[in-house]
Amino acid sequence: MTSLERLGLAALHRLDPETAHGLSIRALRAGLVPVPGPVTSPRLRTSLAGLDLPNPVGLAAGYDKNAEAVAPLSRAGFGFIEVGAATPRPQPGNPRPRLFRLTADRAAINRFGFNNQGMVAIAARLATRPRGTVPAGLNLGANKDSTDRAADFATVLAHCGPHVDFATVNVSSPNTEKLRDLQGPQALAALLSGVMAARDRLPRPIPVFLKIAPDLSPEDLAALAQVALASGVAGIIATNTTLSRDGLTSPDRDQTGGLSGAPLFARSTQVLARLSQLTEGRLPLIGVGGISSAEDAYAKIRAGASAVQFYTAMVYQGLSLATEIARGLDALLARDGFASVAQAVGTDRDRWL
């Protein structure tokens, strides 16, 4: 992290978290944040469900909700980025305050509730994004007051799909009431059937990923894995935020919402490893939850992930963390004699089971 970035983060931390979040997006759009371009090497280049990634380090959904800063984020060192979540109609989300820094825990709690400008506005921005070496995807959501939430996911994909490289079905946010009920086997199978039908009608079929919660029981996780394998999805993203509050010390630890950041690392990595075992390598996995260093990213890969994503750690370590993690991961792969990311996937999985 440069001195300038350190000063910028210090200034943002003097503001309430949601205001700071919005200002960081505006700064990116205005070109006020240095972006080094994609980081890559022969070791880092990764194939993920047919996507060619310069490196396996991605930006998780939730930061650029409305696809306002796709161009600069594509040059920030990430190997792929995910924007959204997008819903069919615009919605304001839950009342503020709804984002809380847990500085002592290197974590955050949010209860945004899929606040976004809606698929029409988001698709318009995605349609004009520069196409380059860094794939951009969209997280699909459902309106809170929808009478058919399962259909909402297919609706957003049909509208926005022509303008993205991949899409993610997000049934794992804890901030829309009863949304996680869609992770049940029957409901999930029906939802994914509709989404995949919409995907097949796109001018250019794209990979669709499924994002799951870290709070599933072993039995529910096994059932979900079987549904995913049968559905035709391209992979699973493990995991979204957690409702657990174990071990937290920050003053806002009891706020309602989903917890992200460092305390989620072990839980999400255990789910990832278990999914790797359940799917037996038949689906690529993307590891998310608590990554704040190259060592964390490497641990996710060795637990079974073909690629990783992070977001919350940028609150504390800045946007340059993407470059730092990618370069550090390259060095770790070289140290251990791996010629590619694929060679390292799952090599330490049993540690987490």
Active site (catalytic) residues? 173
Pick the closest to residue 183 from 210, 201, 208 (CA basis): 210
CA dist list (Å): 141 to 114, 181, 198, 280, 294: 7, 14, 15, 28, 30
What's the rounded Cα separation, in Å, for the pair 338 and 176? 42
CB 58 within 8 A of CB 82: yes
Is residue 86 a contact partner of residue 118, using CB atoms and an 8 Å limit?
yes
Sign, Cα dihedral of 242, 248, 250, 251? positive
Q: Let me know if 339 is exposed, middle or buried by CB neighbors in 10 A (0-12, 13-18, 19+).
A: exposed
Q: Do residues 109 and 255 touch, judged by C-beta distance below 8 A?
A: yes
User: What is the phi/psi pair of residue 68, to 5°?
Assistant: -90, -20
240: nearest Cα among 102, 96, 62, 66: 62
Closest Cα to residue 88, out of 198, 11, 211? 198
* Residue that is written with structure tokens 């988001």 in the block: 122
Contact criterion met (CB below 8 Å) for 101 and 252:
yes
Helix, strand, coil fractions of the chain, as percent rounded to 5: 40, 15, 40
